[in-house]
Chain A
Amino acid sequence: MTPRKDLLDIGSLTPEEIQFILDSAGPAKEVFHRPVKQAPRLRGKTVLLLFYEPSTRTSTSFEVAAKRLSADVINFPVATSSVQKGETVLDTVETLEAMKVDYIVVRHQRSGIPDLIARNTRASVINAGDGAHAHPTQALLDAFTLSEVWQGQWTGKRVLVVGDLLHSRVARSTSAALHALGVKVGILGPGSLVPDYAPGHLERFRSWEEAWDWNPDVVYLLRIQKERQSEEFFPSLKEYHRVYGLTEERLRDVESRGTWLMHPGPINRGVEMVDRASQYERSLINRQVENGVATRMAVLYWLRPLGAALERGGGEP
């Protein structure tokens, strides 16, 4: 597969490219089981983690993935940096460019920042989540997790996405990836949260009853983005749980139907789902975390910064 420079969203990937990442993620997992849990693909390369929004699981996942490929990883401490003195994103990027960083993993509260950075640096830029826009590596790891479950058989499969769709970059990216692979995606959320501009190929449900009639194979619970909502879209978290959350009763439905359960994490217990759901034997939530490292390894394996060949003094780029 021809390498790209950046991974900014799912929409820019062809189905073949998505499949390439999924096909490479499985073998990347194998590196975890060796005596030497490392391979030299990114030896001598620098991966910079530029997280303007807090995250432990995603930034750690990228850090582990990069280190398994022998990269040097630098965690740019935004909270204590000159960014707090008002340094703009592009000024920060210019500084990083001068330090010859090869890969930049960016998470930012405003949509479009990773794209802006990508257009102003030779480094490969990976979007680790920008505003409510996109989270492509989450989508890829979700797709990879399901490809393991379904052995790559996508036709006829149905995934129900439940939650705060308006504010969810995960919903956007994951539904786009699954749709590209031929999976039917349905969405369920409070009326005010289901955007009118949702793509036409999504099935929309107003209640769990309607959604169950559709017979989903997977229930994908989204996080309630407490930190990203500026207005109250529903009266309380308890109310959300009662109407849209995975209650005890709905968990029993899931169990009796054998539906797979997914969640991007971290879980708001008692809101998106009852505590007991994380013990459900068909919960893929922990698998998603493990697959996150493998998927991010596959992405880092594939991308190529600009001028890589020229720097090495190699032949034609």
Chain B
Amino acid sequence: MASASLTRSQTPVDRGSDRLPVGTSRLRPPVPAERHHANEDLVLDEEGVRWAVGRLAEEILASPRDGTGLAFVGIHRRGVVLAERVLAACNRAEGGRDIVSGTLDISLYRDDFDNLGTIPTLRASEIPFDPTGRRVVLFDDVLFTGRTVRAAIDALMDFGRPARIQLAVLVDRGNRELPIQADQAGLNLDTERTDHVWVNFRETDPREGVFVVRGLVAPPP
């Protein structure tokens, strides 16, 4: 179970729901850095992200393998970055060498096209292996309503029939609209629907960290 135990003075609350057995040691929790903007909270800084990635890798490797091949599939765009980082962490660890990987773009599988203000540019999905019979771990940066993951499951099933699909996210912010759960989460946040949570990675953004802005009507640029 990977819930960050932040100091009590932080707004995000540790939800503490144990979905997996606690089998690994708890490392030092992340210490948030100074604020970037007046109404923005940095809830996980670069070091904290590194810590969370390490935890995800540990927990994925700790769960029983039962003979099936393991595959990491990142959901575009930032899930891909997360999957790459966790894969690199796994490759450095014992027993983490034979993991195949791929990427999924869910644009063609969304359920909200009729209401979207902007149509996202299509990206290619790359699944250079047969998912049939494998344990596939899907990666995304933030788990919110669960609709992206639903779309990703449908997309993945068009490539084959995995033995198991699991979900690893950097941040689980609650407010699910579908019965979907993360098997591993780097950070649990208690949020309202009107809050905005986003993850920045240096590969895709000018800075790195997990940010929350409370109660905005429109997402910040």
List residues of A whose CB falls within 8 A of some B CB.
1-3, 20, 23-24, 26-31, 34-36, 38-41, 69, 298, 301-302, 304, 308-309, 311-312, 314-317
Q: How many residues of B contact A (CB 8 A)?
A: 23
Interface centre among B105, B114, B118, B126 (most CB of A within 10 A): B114
**Interface residue from A1, A20, A315 paired with B115 (Cβ < 8 Å):** A315
What residues of A have a CB within 8 angstroms of the CB of B126 in the complex? 30
Residue contact A23 to B108, C-beta cutoff 8 Å? no
Additional pairs, 4, CB under 8 Å, beyond known A1-B118, A30-B126, A301-B107: A27-B125, A41-B107, A304-B114, A314-B114
Are A40 and B121 touching (Cβ within 8 A)?
Answer: no
The answer to whether A20 and B158 have CB atoms under 8 Å apart is no
* B104-135 interface bits toward A, Cβ cutoff 8 Å, 1 = contact, 0 = none: 01011100111111110111111000000000
User: B122, A301: Cβ atoms under 8 Å?
Assistant: yes
Q: Shortest CB–CB separation between residue A36 and chain B, in angstroms?
A: 4
| Interface residue? B198 (CB, 8 A) | no
Complex contacts, A312 vs chain B, CB 8 Å: 114-115
Bound Cα distance A48, B15 (Å): 52
CB-nearest residue of chain B relative to A28? Answer: B122
Known contacts being A27-B105, A27-B124, A69-B108, is A35 close to B115, with CB within 8 Å? no
B124 touches A1 (CB 8 A): no
A-B contact count (CB 8 A): 68
CB distance from B145 to the nearest CB of A (A): 14
Question: In the complex, A27→B105 CA distance in Å?
Answer: 9
The residue that B118 contacts in the complex, of A2, A26, A301, with Cβ under 8 A, is A2
Cα-based distance from A315 to B116 in the complex (angstroms):
10
Quick check: A35 and B158 within 8 Å, CB to CB?
yes
State whether A309 touches B114 (Cβ < 8 A): yes
Residues of A within 8 A of B121 (CB): 1, 20, 23-24
**Chain A proximity mask over B82-116: 1 for CB below 8 Å, otherwise 0:** 00000000000000000000000101110011111
In the complex formed, the residue of B with least CB distance to A3 is B119
Q: A35-B159, A314-B115, A316-B115 are in contact. Are A298 and B122 (CB under 8 A)?
A: yes
A180 to B221 Cα, complex, angstroms: 28
Chain B residues positioned under 8 Å from A20 (CB to CB): 121
Q: Whole-angstrom distance between the alpha carbons of A298 and B122 in the complex?
A: 8
Report B128 CB to chain A, min CB distance, Å. 11
For the complex of A and B, list the 3 residue pairs with the smallest distance between their C-beta atoms, beginning with the closest: A39-B108, A24-B122, A27-B124
Contact (A30, B108) CB under 8 Å given A3-B119, A304-B114, A309-B115: no
CB distance from A16 to the nearest CB of B (A): 11
Question: A315: which B residues are within 8 A, CB to CB?
Answer: 115
**Distance of B138 from chain A, by nearest CB (Å):** 17
- With both beta carbons as reference points, the residue of chain A lying nearest to B105 in the complex is identified as A27
Known: A27-B122, A27-B124, A41-B108. A34 touches B117 (CB 8 A): no
Most buried by A among B119, B122, B123: B122
Query: Which A residues are in CB contact (< 8 Å) with B125?
Result: 27, 30
- Bound Cα distance A36, B156 (Å): 11
Bound complex: CA A30 to CA B119 (Å): 19
Q: Determine the distance from Cα of A40 to Cα of B150 in the docked complex, in whole angstroms.
A: 13
Instruction: Collect the chain A residues with CB atoms within 8 Å of residue B124's CB.
Output: 26-27, 29-30
Residues on the A chain within 8 Å of B119, using CB: 1-3, 301-302, 304
**Chain B residues within 8 Å of A298, by CB:** 122
Q: Please, how many angstroms separate the alpha-carbon atoms of A193 and B118 in the complex?
A: 42
Q: Is B154 an interface residue (CB 8 A)?
A: yes
Taking CB as reference atom, which chain B residue is nearest A36? B158
A43 to B: closest C-beta gap in Å: 10
Q: Cβ of B158: which chain A residues have Cβ within 8 Å of it?
A: 34-36, 38-39
Cβ contact within 8 Å between B123 and A27: yes
CB closest residue in chain B, given A317: B115
A2 touches B117 (CB 8 A): yes
